[in-house]
Amino acid sequence: MINLDILVFAAHPDDAELGCGGMIASMIKQGYKVGIVDLTEGEMGSRGTIESRYEEAKVSSEIFGLHYRNNLRIADSVIENNRTNQKKIIQEIRSTRPTICFIGAPSDRHPDHGKATKLCADALFYSGLIKIETNDPISQEKQEVWRPHHVFHYMQDRPIDYQIILDITDVWDIKVKAMAAFTTQFNAPSGDDQPKTYISDPSFFQQLEARARYFGHLGGCTYGEPYAYHNVPAGVKNFDSFLQHKQKR
Protein backbone atom coordinates (compact mmCIF):
# COMPACT_ATOMS: atom_id res chain seq x y z
CA MET A 1 0.00 0.00 0.00
CA ILE A 2 1.18 3.50 -0.84
CA ASN A 3 -0.59 6.57 0.53
CA LEU A 4 -0.80 9.13 -2.24
CA ASP A 5 -1.81 12.74 -1.89
CA ILE A 6 -3.08 12.87 -5.48
CA LEU A 7 -4.09 10.21 -7.98
CA VAL A 8 -4.89 11.01 -11.62
CA PHE A 9 -6.98 8.72 -13.81
CA ALA A 10 -6.56 8.85 -17.59
CA ALA A 11 -8.25 6.98 -20.42
CA HIS A 12 -5.02 6.66 -22.43
CA PRO A 13 -1.31 7.02 -21.77
CA ASP A 14 -0.51 10.74 -22.35
CA ASP A 15 -4.00 12.00 -21.38
CA ALA A 16 -2.83 12.94 -17.89
CA GLU A 17 0.22 14.73 -19.28
CA LEU A 18 -1.90 16.73 -21.71
CA GLY A 19 -4.77 17.57 -19.37
CA CYS A 20 -3.12 18.12 -16.00
CA GLY A 21 0.64 17.78 -16.48
CA GLY A 22 1.19 21.20 -14.96
CA MET A 23 -0.70 20.27 -11.80
CA ILE A 24 1.23 17.01 -11.54
CA ALA A 25 4.60 18.75 -11.91
CA SER A 26 3.61 21.53 -9.52
CA MET A 27 2.38 19.26 -6.74
CA ILE A 28 5.42 16.97 -6.97
CA LYS A 29 7.67 20.04 -6.86
CA GLN A 30 5.90 21.05 -3.64
CA GLY A 31 6.63 17.66 -2.08
CA TYR A 32 3.32 15.87 -2.56
CA LYS A 33 3.04 12.22 -3.58
CA VAL A 34 1.35 11.92 -6.97
CA GLY A 35 0.39 8.94 -9.11
CA ILE A 36 -1.24 8.20 -12.47
CA VAL A 37 -3.46 5.28 -13.44
CA ASP A 38 -3.92 4.79 -17.18
CA LEU A 39 -7.07 2.82 -17.95
CA THR A 40 -6.01 1.51 -21.36
CA GLU A 41 -2.78 0.75 -23.18
CA GLY A 42 -3.73 3.03 -26.06
CA GLU A 43 -3.60 0.07 -28.41
CA MET A 44 -6.18 1.49 -30.81
CA GLY A 45 -4.17 4.62 -31.49
CA SER A 46 -3.12 5.15 -35.12
CA ARG A 47 0.53 5.62 -34.16
CA GLY A 48 2.90 3.67 -31.97
CA THR A 49 2.51 0.30 -30.29
CA ILE A 50 1.60 -0.97 -26.85
CA GLU A 51 5.30 -1.42 -26.12
CA SER A 52 6.23 2.08 -27.26
CA ARG A 53 3.42 3.62 -25.23
CA TYR A 54 4.68 1.89 -22.08
CA GLU A 55 8.21 3.12 -22.72
CA GLU A 56 6.98 6.66 -23.35
CA ALA A 57 4.89 6.60 -20.16
CA LYS A 58 7.96 5.43 -18.25
CA VAL A 59 10.06 8.31 -19.57
CA SER A 60 7.29 10.81 -18.81
CA SER A 61 6.92 9.44 -15.28
CA GLU A 62 10.65 9.90 -14.68
CA ILE A 63 10.47 13.48 -15.94
CA PHE A 64 7.70 14.21 -13.44
CA GLY A 65 9.27 12.21 -10.64
CA LEU A 66 6.00 10.29 -10.18
CA HIS A 67 5.59 8.16 -7.08
CA TYR A 68 3.30 5.62 -8.75
CA ARG A 69 1.95 4.63 -12.17
CA ASN A 70 -0.13 1.67 -13.25
CA ASN A 71 -2.09 0.56 -16.29
CA LEU A 72 -5.41 -1.30 -15.85
CA ARG A 73 -5.39 -2.77 -19.38
CA ILE A 74 -9.04 -1.99 -20.03
CA ALA A 75 -9.77 -2.38 -23.74
CA ASP A 76 -9.06 0.80 -25.69
CA SER A 77 -12.19 2.11 -27.49
CA VAL A 78 -14.28 -0.35 -25.44
CA ILE A 79 -14.31 1.38 -22.05
CA GLU A 80 -17.38 -0.12 -20.43
CA ASN A 81 -18.86 1.07 -17.15
CA ASN A 82 -19.36 -2.35 -15.62
CA ARG A 83 -18.58 -3.87 -12.23
CA THR A 84 -15.44 -5.61 -13.49
CA ASN A 85 -13.87 -2.32 -14.59
CA GLN A 86 -15.21 -0.47 -11.56
CA LYS A 87 -13.50 -2.96 -9.28
CA LYS A 88 -10.17 -2.44 -11.06
CA ILE A 89 -10.41 1.25 -10.21
CA ILE A 90 -11.70 0.60 -6.69
CA GLN A 91 -8.67 -1.62 -6.05
CA GLU A 92 -6.39 1.25 -7.08
CA ILE A 93 -8.20 3.71 -4.83
CA ARG A 94 -8.11 1.41 -1.82
CA SER A 95 -4.46 0.48 -2.29
CA THR A 96 -3.19 4.04 -2.84
CA ARG A 97 -5.68 5.91 -0.59
CA PRO A 98 -5.41 9.31 -2.32
CA THR A 99 -6.77 12.46 -0.70
CA ILE A 100 -7.56 14.05 -4.07
CA CYS A 101 -8.39 12.45 -7.40
CA PHE A 102 -8.39 14.00 -10.85
CA ILE A 103 -10.51 12.52 -13.62
CA GLY A 104 -11.05 13.55 -17.24
CA ALA A 105 -13.65 15.77 -18.85
CA PRO A 106 -17.35 14.80 -18.51
CA SER A 107 -17.60 14.76 -22.33
CA ASP A 108 -15.06 15.37 -25.06
CA ARG A 109 -14.13 14.96 -28.73
CA HIS A 110 -12.81 11.42 -28.13
CA PRO A 111 -15.65 9.12 -26.96
CA ASP A 112 -13.26 7.25 -24.64
CA HIS A 113 -12.71 10.36 -22.55
CA GLY A 114 -16.31 10.85 -21.46
CA LYS A 115 -16.79 7.10 -20.96
CA ALA A 116 -13.65 6.88 -18.83
CA THR A 117 -14.75 9.84 -16.73
CA LYS A 118 -18.16 8.32 -16.01
CA LEU A 119 -16.56 4.97 -15.14
CA CYS A 120 -14.08 6.63 -12.79
CA ALA A 121 -16.66 8.88 -11.14
CA ASP A 122 -18.90 5.92 -10.36
CA ALA A 123 -16.02 3.78 -9.12
CA LEU A 124 -14.73 6.57 -6.88
CA PHE A 125 -18.10 6.71 -5.17
CA TYR A 126 -18.45 2.93 -4.92
CA SER A 127 -14.96 2.67 -3.41
CA GLY A 128 -16.48 3.97 -0.18
CA LEU A 129 -19.17 1.28 0.05
CA ILE A 130 -18.44 -1.45 2.58
CA LYS A 131 -20.46 -4.13 0.80
CA ILE A 132 -18.39 -3.86 -2.38
CA GLU A 133 -15.47 -6.08 -1.44
CA THR A 134 -12.10 -6.11 -3.18
CA ASN A 135 -8.78 -7.78 -2.56
CA ASP A 136 -5.32 -6.31 -2.97
CA PRO A 137 -4.09 -7.43 -6.42
CA ILE A 138 -0.69 -8.45 -5.00
CA SER A 139 -1.25 -9.74 -1.44
CA GLN A 140 -4.86 -10.81 -2.11
CA GLU A 141 -5.77 -9.47 1.33
CA LYS A 142 -9.19 -7.90 1.75
CA GLN A 143 -9.00 -4.15 1.23
CA GLU A 144 -10.42 -1.50 3.54
CA VAL A 145 -12.85 0.96 2.00
CA TRP A 146 -11.56 4.36 0.93
CA ARG A 147 -13.07 7.30 -0.88
CA PRO A 148 -11.03 10.38 -1.89
CA HIS A 149 -11.99 13.60 -0.14
CA HIS A 150 -12.07 15.69 -3.30
CA VAL A 151 -12.49 14.95 -7.02
CA PHE A 152 -11.66 17.35 -9.86
CA HIS A 153 -12.13 17.23 -13.63
CA TYR A 154 -9.30 18.31 -15.89
CA MET A 155 -9.90 19.74 -19.36
CA GLN A 156 -9.08 17.63 -22.40
CA ASP A 157 -9.72 18.63 -26.00
CA ARG A 158 -12.94 20.60 -25.55
CA PRO A 159 -13.76 23.34 -23.00
CA ILE A 160 -15.25 22.43 -19.63
CA ASP A 161 -17.25 24.44 -17.11
CA TYR A 162 -14.28 25.20 -14.85
CA GLN A 163 -14.13 26.98 -11.50
CA ILE A 164 -10.38 26.99 -10.87
CA ILE A 165 -7.35 28.05 -12.90
CA LEU A 166 -4.05 26.70 -11.59
CA ASP A 167 -0.89 28.73 -12.20
CA ILE A 168 1.57 26.33 -13.84
CA THR A 169 4.02 28.96 -15.08
CA ASP A 170 7.02 27.71 -13.09
CA VAL A 171 6.53 24.10 -14.23
CA TRP A 172 5.46 24.68 -17.83
CA ASP A 173 8.79 23.41 -19.12
CA ILE A 174 8.34 20.17 -17.17
CA LYS A 175 4.86 19.66 -18.62
CA VAL A 176 6.18 20.21 -22.14
CA LYS A 177 8.98 17.67 -21.63
CA ALA A 178 6.55 15.11 -20.18
CA MET A 179 4.17 15.52 -23.12
CA ALA A 180 7.00 15.39 -25.63
CA ALA A 181 8.13 12.07 -24.14
CA PHE A 182 5.34 10.46 -26.19
CA THR A 183 7.41 10.68 -29.35
CA THR A 184 5.16 8.40 -31.41
CA GLN A 185 2.16 10.62 -30.77
CA PHE A 186 3.33 14.22 -31.05
CA ASN A 187 5.53 16.47 -33.20
CA ALA A 188 5.88 14.01 -36.05
CA PRO A 189 8.79 14.90 -38.37
CA SER A 190 7.98 15.69 -41.99
CA GLY A 191 9.43 12.40 -43.27
CA ASP A 192 7.60 10.25 -40.75
CA ASP A 193 6.03 7.16 -42.37
CA GLN A 194 3.34 6.57 -39.71
CA PRO A 195 -0.25 7.79 -40.22
CA LYS A 196 -0.75 11.50 -39.67
CA THR A 197 -3.25 12.31 -36.93
CA TYR A 198 -4.95 15.24 -35.27
CA ILE A 199 -2.32 15.30 -32.52
CA SER A 200 0.81 14.33 -34.49
CA ASP A 201 1.05 17.64 -36.35
CA PRO A 202 3.53 20.05 -34.69
CA SER A 203 0.78 22.69 -34.67
CA PHE A 204 -0.98 20.66 -31.95
CA PHE A 205 1.67 21.66 -29.40
CA GLN A 206 1.33 25.27 -30.53
CA GLN A 207 -2.38 25.07 -29.81
CA LEU A 208 -1.68 23.59 -26.37
CA GLU A 209 0.63 26.48 -25.53
CA ALA A 210 -1.90 29.00 -26.80
CA ARG A 211 -4.56 27.42 -24.61
CA ALA A 212 -2.30 27.47 -21.56
CA ARG A 213 -1.50 31.12 -22.23
CA TYR A 214 -5.19 31.93 -22.60
CA PHE A 215 -6.07 30.38 -19.25
CA GLY A 216 -2.98 31.96 -17.76
CA HIS A 217 -4.30 35.33 -18.96
CA LEU A 218 -7.65 34.65 -17.27
CA GLY A 219 -5.91 33.55 -14.09
CA GLY A 220 -3.41 36.40 -13.98
CA CYS A 221 -0.33 34.33 -14.81
CA THR A 222 1.63 33.24 -17.87
CA TYR A 223 0.42 29.63 -18.15
CA GLY A 224 -2.69 28.14 -16.56
CA GLU A 225 -4.73 24.93 -16.40
CA PRO A 226 -8.51 24.91 -15.79
CA TYR A 227 -10.23 22.54 -13.37
CA ALA A 228 -13.80 21.79 -12.37
CA TYR A 229 -14.87 20.45 -8.99
CA HIS A 230 -16.87 17.23 -9.33
CA ASN A 231 -20.33 17.44 -7.78
CA VAL A 232 -20.22 21.11 -6.80
CA PRO A 233 -20.85 22.80 -4.44
CA ALA A 234 -17.91 21.85 -2.25
CA GLY A 235 -18.20 22.34 1.50
CA VAL A 236 -15.34 24.08 3.30
CA LYS A 237 -14.59 24.71 6.97
CA ASN A 238 -12.81 28.03 6.45
CA PHE A 239 -11.33 30.40 3.89
CA ASP A 240 -7.67 29.88 4.80
CA SER A 241 -6.64 29.22 1.21
CA PHE A 242 -8.20 32.47 0.05
CA LEU A 243 -6.51 34.39 2.85
CA GLN A 244 -3.12 32.94 1.89
CA HIS A 245 -3.37 33.58 -1.86
CA LYS A 246 -4.36 36.88 -3.38
CA GLN A 247 -5.91 37.21 -6.82
CA LYS A 248 -3.26 38.11 -9.37
CA ARG A 249 -5.53 40.31 -11.48
Whole-angstrom distance, CA of residue 27 vs CA of residue 4? 12
Q: Using alpha carbons, list the distances in angstroms from residue 196 to 103, 142, 184, 185, 200.
A: 28, 47, 11, 9, 6
Local structure of residue 171 (DSSP, 8 states): G
Architecture of the structural domain at 6-244: 3-Layer(aba) Sandwich (3.40)
Helix (H) or strand (E) holding 226: strand 224-229
Angle at 89 between CA 40 and CA 229, to 5 degrees: 95
**Percent helix / strand / coil, the chain, rounded to 5:** 40, 15, 50
Angle between helices 50-64 and 172-180 (to 10 degrees): 160
154 - beta bridge partners? Answer: 227
Cα 200 versus chain centre, distance: 20
* pTM > 0.85: yes
Of 144, 149, 41, 55, nearest in space to 95 by CA? 144
| Residue-level pLDDT at 122 | 98
Lowest mean pLDDT among 73-87, 167-181, 220-234: 220-234
Beta-carbon-side half-sphere exposure of residue 86 (alpha carbons within 13 Å):
16
Of 40, 164, 184, nearest in space to 102 by CA? 164
pLDDT digits (tens, 9 = 90+) for 83-125: 999 999 999 999 999 999 999 999 999 999 999 999 999 999 9
Of 18, 25, 14, 41, nearest in space to 6 by CA? 25
Taking residues 32-56, report their average pLDDT. Answer: 95
Contact 103, 121 (CB under 8 A): yes
| Residue-level pLDDT at 248 | 66
Strands (E), 131-210: 150-154, 164-167
Whole-angstrom distance, CA of residue 192 vs CA of residue 201? 11
Whole-angstrom distance, CA of residue 58 vs CA of residue 157? 23
Of 174, 132, 150, nearest in space to 227 by CA? 150
| Residue-level pLDDT at 241 | 78
> Residue 138: which pLDDT band, with cuts at 50, 70 and 90?
confident
Whole-angstrom distance, CA of residue 192 vs CA of residue 54? 21
> Residue 5: which pLDDT band, with cuts at 50, 70 and 90?
very high
Is there a cis peptide before residue 233, judged by omega within 30 degrees of 0? yes
